[in-house]
Amino acid sequence: MNLFNNSKKSDPANDETLLKRYRKSGDLAVLGNLFQGYSSMVYYVCYRYLQDAEQSKDAVMQIFEELIVKVNKREIKQFGSWLYVLSRNHCLMQLRLAKKMEYTTIDEFMELPVDLHQDVENKEKRLTVMELCMEKLPVAQKQSIDLFFLNEKCYKEITEITGYSLNDVKSYIQNGKRNLKICMEKNGEH
């Protein structure tokens, strides 16, 4: 099975059938069939974040491996949308871990908790909650937060991209951060 051969196109009506069949049988060929229709999308999401073709290909394979377990643990209404979020979160986690390891000495690394897997799962849950809370923000706040924090744009660049005034951008970011924090606290994440 070649996950990068995307001759199959996704079919949301068929996705649910394949998902049910995989959950019932555990047959990886069925999951591969389902994933293959989205493999190009997953690759391009990874490439957008990782900016490296080989790392992106590796990430596609890692995401497929994650699916083997996660598909059975999650309620999935729209596979394509869910897979997009999973792919994005996977890449963001890789970037965060790479940045953290960049500044970590060997001594600090040795002091990291033994159960890093649990730590990664907790971070993934926080990212999922944060993403859900981002979706609840007013459009201007969401756009400003996304550009400022995720795309690392300065205030001036945000005003040029959005057309908002400098004061509005500052306000949207400040209020957006506050609203995100409130939403995440309501969902049990700090």
Task: For residue range 37-95, list pLDDT tens digits in order.
Answer: 899 999 999 999 888 899 999 999 999 999 988 888 888 888 988 999 999 999 988 88
Is 3.40.50.720 the CATH number for 117-190?
no
Domain boundaries, the chain: 1-112, 117-190
Main-chain phi, psi angles of 176, to 5 degrees = -60, -45
Architecture of the domain delimited by 1-112: Orthogonal Bundle (1.10)
Same fold, 1-112 and 117-190: no
pLDDT tens across 132-181, in order?
888 899 999 999 988 887 777 888 999 999 999 999 999 999 998 899 88
Name the residue with tokens 């995440």: 184
Residue 74 backbone zone (phi > 0: left; psi -120 to 50: alpha; other: beta): beta
